[in-house]
Structure 1
Amino acid sequence: MKVGVVLGTGHGEKGTTGAVVDDLLTRMRQRTDVELDLVRTDELTLGPSCPACLACMTAGEQACPNSDNAAPARAVMDAADLVIFATPVHSFTLSATMKRFVDHFAYLIHRPRYFGTPAVLVSTAAGAGHDAALGYLKTAIRRWGFHTVAELGVNGPGLEKAPYRAKVDRALDEIASTAVQAVRDGGEPTPTTSDLIGFRVARLLVESGRDDGPVDAAYWDERGWFDADWFTDAKVPRVANTVAGFVEGRIRKGIANGSAKPYRG
């Protein structure tokens, strides 16, 4: 079983986040053979931020000025049977280098490829913020094709307390079993209403940008997605698909008429 780890902390494997991931891997190794491939986001040299030039979408990912530096992370995800994405919580969200990593793979929202690959999300914090950090990661990587099978948010200082440590250990045991079983089972889960809306919004973006982004359109054409209801042959729930179609219609109308409203909270 090939496990990829994207570790979004400057403390590496010796920090709290790295230690929790290591504890999870130890438990997974008790259940199956694990071949590990790890990338540290702090070592990717992606610059202060994504340049937001959109070259990855309009001309292909190789056109990104940081393409070579992002390549090791792409290789880890491409080869993995399961990927663990792990980040500390910084100011109620994920770390800056993990965010930079996500930004540099924005083209995967338009050209997703990881359907059928399960993911486990891990965060650690001195206080709160797990919901925001893990929620963002879950949404982002789902748009790339991954499906999250387990999440764990751990309070670092709490690990010094035996009762809390015991709860974390039980959670790690459960997640290790879930992760291994997810790889053995394989397949892609039934898409949710949110998934189907995301599919239709992505299709709308690619359709409307066909002239400016022929790379995206060619990718969709090759896979027949313009005429599909979902990215894979997983069963599409009828009611959820109807709701997604209604939302798509409203979006199309808002764009065509200029009647869409700015977000006001």
Structure 2
Amino acid sequence: MSSTAAESELNSLIRHAGAHRMRPPGHPRESGRSATFPQAEREVIHLHEVNLPACDGQLDVIKEGENLTGAMSGLGAVYSAMRRADVVVFASPVHNFTVSALLKNFIDLMVFESHRPSFIGKPAVLVATAMGAGQDRLFAYLRDVVHSWGFRVVGCLGAAASMLDEPWYEARLQGAIGQLAGRVATRIADQRPRVGLRDVVAFNIWRLVVEINRENTPIDHEYWSRRGWLSAHYYYPCRTWPPARWIARLIATAVRHQIIGRKLKPVT
């Protein structure tokens, strides 16, 4: 998924990946804007070509549920493509140390996924290009977002946009893509992936939010309850640092006491 109207550097990076046979498995399609790699197929969605409305608030979607028809049909098409895929690659240039405005708008429209995640355990790869710094901060933000949607990030690739046509940098990029492809293949095959402390804490905090806001957003509570997450350690079976669950529960308990005891303070 590419998220900028000025896409030459991202397209170049995608071509490099294709030349190196980066091979996430995909679903064959008889039509559509797709291109086939050896033993794989990719479908590239450019967000500037999708009819997405500007997000002006999604509180009704959070409380009442998403409607991906009508004005949101473009979002529905992207959502369906992501659901069909075996691996989703999120690609964005670095704009002021974060994702592009196009991708940010898409993320805002997809806010229901943070409350009712449906991409549970689906592998995701993050790709970024930058003229200077900021890739690490973009990855940190985007990783948190897609984790809240249920994805597990299996790899990241950041490239210097100004160097993509330099032969010496191309050689290094090819090597990095090859290493990333190997990691992605290994992690995709892992049936019990490793999850970090930050992810376990985030899951516990989200569960706390769902429980506390049961009356305000019953649709969230019903969704989590139906999937057994209100009593689970994580969205899916995983391995983690042994003390992580204990630490996450302590943090969630402390946050609960702050909320119930009306001790929350404005962030300053």
- Same-fold status (TM-score > 0.5): yes
Partner of residue 26, structure 1: 19
Structure 2 partner of 1:166: 171
| Superposition pairs of residues 224-263 of structure 1, within 5 angstroms | 224-235=228-239, 237-263=241-267
Distance 1:132 1:29 in 2: 25
Shift of 1:164: 2.1
Matches within 5 A, 1:34-113: 34-48=40-54, 50-62=55-67, 66-113=71-118
Give TM-score, length-normalised by structure 1.
Answer: 0.88
Cα gap change, 1:188 to 1:47, in 2 (>3 Å): farther
Deviation at 1:29, TM superposition (A): 5.7
Amino acid at match of 1:195: D
- Residues 96 and 134 of structure 2 are in contact (CA less than 8 Å); yes or no, is this contact kept in structure 1? yes
CA distance in 1, matches of 2:96, 2:265: 30
Kept after mapping to 1: 8 A contact 2:20/2:177: yes
Name the Cα RMSD after superposition.
2.1
Q: Which residue of structure 2 aligns with residue 132 of structure 1?
A: 137
AA in 1 matched with 2:46 = R
Residue deviations 1:90-143, cap 9 Å, x none?
Answer: 122110001111111111111112222111111111111111212211111011
TM superposition shift of 1:16: 0.5
Q: Is the 8 A contact 1:114 1:144 kept in 2?
A: yes
How far apart are 1:250 and its partner, in Å? 0.9
User: 1:92, 1:245 → 2: CA distance?
Assistant: 32
Mapped partners of 2:159, 2:65: distance in 1: 38
Q: CA deviation at 1:163?
A: 2.4
Please tell me whether residue 10 in structure 1 is matched to residue 14 in structure 2.
no
The 5 Å alignment of 1:114-263 reads: 114-183=119-188, 185-235=189-239, 237-263=241-267
How far is 1:239 from its partner? 0.8
Q: Which runs of 5+ in 2 are unaligned?
A: 24-36
Q: Percent identity?
A: 29
Q: Secondary structure at the match of 2:20?
A: helix
Quote the Cα distance in structure 1 between the aligned partners of 2:21 and 2:84.
18
Counterpart-to-counterpart distance in 1, 2:141 and 2:211: 26
Q: Is the 8 A contact 2:126 2:156 kept in 1?
A: yes
- SS of the counterpart of 1:62? coil
Distance 1:25 1:146 in 2: 23
Number of aligned residue pairs: 255
Is contact 1:58–1:213 with CA below 8 Å preserved after alignment?
A: yes
Q: Deviations over 1:18-46 (max 9, x none)?
A: 22023213323679511222221112222
Q: Distance in 2 between matches of 1:70 and 1:144?
A: 15
Q: Could you say what secondary structure the match of 1:250 adopts?
A: helix
Residues 84 and 156 (structure 1 numbering): CA distance in 2 closer, same or farther, change over 3 Å?
same
State whether residues 88 and 94 of structure 1, in contact with CA within 8 Å, keep that contact through their aligned partners in structure 2.
Answer: yes
Contact 2:64 2:219 in 1 (8 A): yes
CA, structure 1 residues 63+72, in 2 after alignment: closer, same or farther (shift >3 Å)? closer
Aligned partners of 2:229 and 2:156: how far apart in 1? 30
What secondary structure does 1:61 align onto?
coil
